Structure 1
């Protein structure tokens, strides 16, 4: 089964952007400054990887042949999943706005454009991030899905972007998942010698958690009308965790090997600020090897889904082969 990854990316980005255009307040609606700031960062570019992973996970689950033929979903993405995908992109954009603030990473370039606080000032940038997070949860709460599915999605996403407190499924999670918790550990570890355990903990929480939950939330949405065996949910979560960690490892490598123009953000920032990164601990070549191994493990987790998993696997492969 041959998959055109670029077509998936292009189509998925277009679907996501259309949903974001519909859901975000127009720049002509008062208060103008906050809405312009929200739209500036949301539509500054970006690959829309998290929403695309969400939609493809939903499509995979909805079309998997363990459903009786009469209950099988029609081909394509499940109806309404674009809103969930857009909400995940809002959360991702909120995190980028706040990460770029002078008090955190102090960056002036994101997605090839001036960062939100550079254009609109720190106060408006903080509020734009807050507003995107709030709108994301408002959007998820209004999804056209059974209430129990919406609650499950809300719960897992809130855990994934929090400090790591709480439970994911039936397993204690420690400090991860938790994007904010990962950010805190990342900040507090600056200037210290990175260790393998520290780097993995930061990556799984700061970046991996949102990628994982994008895939898990999509799967919950795609199976919301028929249910999905718990063993399949565990496999989907494993896929997300492996792919999410591989993504961040590659991001670390690219930060050290690509230019700012190629990345669309300030290159070499991790090294300059003594960030705990995978190459800092293991070196560039070992990092590339580790990312490839993680993707192989991620593929194995999706074996029961058969050909329906091919688009999601192709996207995961793209994550480790990208050059920007």
Structure 2
């Protein structure tokens, strides 16, 4: 990780953590356990990759990274991500008991509370965007982007494909479709929302950022699959080898470890190529792409 990226992550992780604390709703008598579960999953240790991408995209297009709508986008994508992790860990889904080195939400609380906490965080994502005093066209555009990336055309359909692929031998095309949606869609949304919140409407710019984000989203998943077989539970903060235990298809199981590593590097190169028309302000986006394929956790 470059010193510039390290400083950027430190600065904007701290910023979004403070904003997320403020975004959580006030306690309502009888609903304390729900809020505790939301806070537990939202504010726990995490890489904050998606909000960092929001800020890095805003910087790349010369946007104001202190703008209220940019902040709201960073918070909204992290709320949506936290919701997805809670539900993904449930017994009916991946049935995981460890997340970010801590018990998953349904283990720390209970299954019903975890479901409700995820539901509430999803709603909080959109509430955070809609509460911002910003041009209505920009607010609608970022909310539309987040909705598209999160539902039946994005993350949720990716989860459905994932569940349906257990104990099967899907094609590489289907595996890619799964991860373009399950992992990549929200990463793509983060990049586009950062630019749109900065007032960018120019199609060529947004098209280049989408190409970058699609490559980064896939490389993130390929590296996750690699780490699942090369790392350990203590380093990752979640159980390793879980995909193999469940007989879930991964890039490693379909390509082999060496080819999966080559795939990750190829995707990184595609991401960098997509930013050829951007100047030095896109340096953090470039560094993030490199970090994603080089990370060990």
TM-score range, shorter-chain basis? Answer: over 0.9
Q: CA deviation at 1:144?
A: 3.2
Higher relative contact order (CA 8 A, sep 6+): 2
Q: 2:231 corresponds to which residue?
A: 258
Matches within 5 A, 1:57-68: 57-63=57-63
Q: CA deviation at 1:13?
A: 0.9
CA distance in 1, matches of 2:257, 2:50: 25
Aligned counterparts of 1:319 and 1:310: Cα–Cα separation in 2: 14
Which of 187, 208, 211 is the matching residue for 2:187? 211
Shift of 1:145: 2.3
For the structure 1 residues 317 and 205, does the alpha-carbon distance in structure 2 shift closer, same or farther, using more than 3 Å as the test? same
Which residue of the partner structure matches residue 169 of structure 1? none
Whether contact under 8 Å (1:249, 1:287) holds in the other structure is yes
Alignment of 1:230-245 (within 5 A): 230-245=203-218
RMSD after superposition: 1.5
Q: Could you report, residue by residue, the CA deviation over 1:169-208 in whole angstroms, capped at 9, with x for unpaired residues? A: xxxxxxxxx1000100110110001321111011101000
SS at match of 1:266: coil
Q: Does 1:21 align with 2:21?
A: yes
From 161, 168, 172, the counterpart of 1:192: 168
Offset, 1:26: 5.2
Q: Distance in 1 between matches of 2:17 and 2:28?
A: 18
Going from structure 1 to structure 2, the CA distance change for 1:43 and 1:29 (only over 3 Å counts) comes to farther
Match runs of 1:298-309 below 5 Å? 298-309=271-282
For residue 162 of structure 1, the aligned residue among 140, 151, 163 is 151
Alpha-carbon deviations, 1:4-45, whole Å to 9, x = none? 221111112101100001101356865101000000111221
Which secondary structure state, in structure 2, belongs to the residue aligned with residue 305 of structure 1? coil
**Which residue is 2:264 aligned to?**
291
1:79-137 CA distances to partner (integer Å, 9 max, x unpaired)?
A: 44222101110100000000000010001100000111011110000000000000110
Deviation at 1:276, TM superposition (A): 1.8
1:107 and 2:96 matched: yes
How many matched pairs?
Answer: 296
Contact 2:83 2:122 in 1 (8 A): yes
Aligned to 2:243: 270
Q: So what's the TM-score if we normalise by structure 1?
A: 0.88
- Conserved in 2, the CA contact under 8 Å of 1:81 and 1:218? yes
Structure 2 unmatched ranges of 5 or more: none
Q: Give how far 1:267 is off.
A: 0.7
Q: Which piece of structure 1 moves more, 129-138 or 28-37? A: 28-37
- Superposed CA deviations along residues 256-308 of structure 1, whole A, max 9, x for unmatched, are 11111110011111111111211111111111111111111111111212111
Alignment partners' CA distance in 1, 2:246 and 2:170: 12
Please give the alpha-carbon distance, in whole angstroms, between the structure 2 residues aligned to 1:271 and 1:54: 33
Separation in 2, partners of 1:287, 1:251: 10
Call closer, same or farther: CA 1:257–1:28 in 2, change over 3 Å. Answer: farther
Q: Distance in 2 between matches of 1:6 and 1:27?
A: 35
Equivalent residue number for residue 40 of structure 1:
40
- Quick check: 1:111–1:265 contact (8 Å CA) kept in 2? yes
CA contact (8 A) 1:204 1:244 kept: yes
Q: Would you identify which runs of 4 or more consecutive aligned residues in structure 1 move more than 4 Å?
A: 26-30
- Taking the aligned partners of 2:237 and 2:167, their CA distance within structure 1 comes to 25
Q: Is the 8 A contact 2:73 2:142 kept in 1?
A: no
